[in-house]
């Protein structure tokens, strides 16, 4: 489901962030409009259930709106 670049796989992730920004204007999409709330709920449950050692955060816009829902694993700066 999630792809990880091989060169980034040596960096241990500390944070997983899911953009849950919602815009009220119809001419620009947002991650929430593309399903990020459900994605964040599911990821949060999985991280907790599997006791994965990362901090999970719901975030504001990460300027990747057209590709959303946006997930970022940090450090490393990867957007998924």
65 binds ligand FES (CB under 6 A): yes
Judged by DSSP in three states, 41 sits in helix
54 binds ligand FES (CB under 6 A): no
Selected range binding ligand FES among 8-16, 37-45, 47-55, 59-67, rule: CB under 6 A: 59-67
Which CB sits closer to ligand FES, 11 or 29? 29
Using CB under 6 A as the binding rule, the residues of this chain from 4 to 23 that contact ligand FES are: 19, 21
């Amino acid at each position: 489901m999630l792809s990880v670049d091989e060169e980034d796989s040596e960096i241990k992730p500390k944070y997983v962030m899911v953009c849950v920004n919602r815009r009220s204007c119809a001419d620009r999409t947002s991650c929430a409009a593309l399903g990020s709330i459900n994605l964040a709920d599911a990821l949060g449950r999985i991280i907790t259930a599997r006791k994965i050692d990362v901090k999970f955060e719901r975030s504001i816009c990460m300027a990747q709106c057209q590709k959303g829902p946006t997930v970022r694993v940090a450090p490393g700066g990867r957007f998924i």
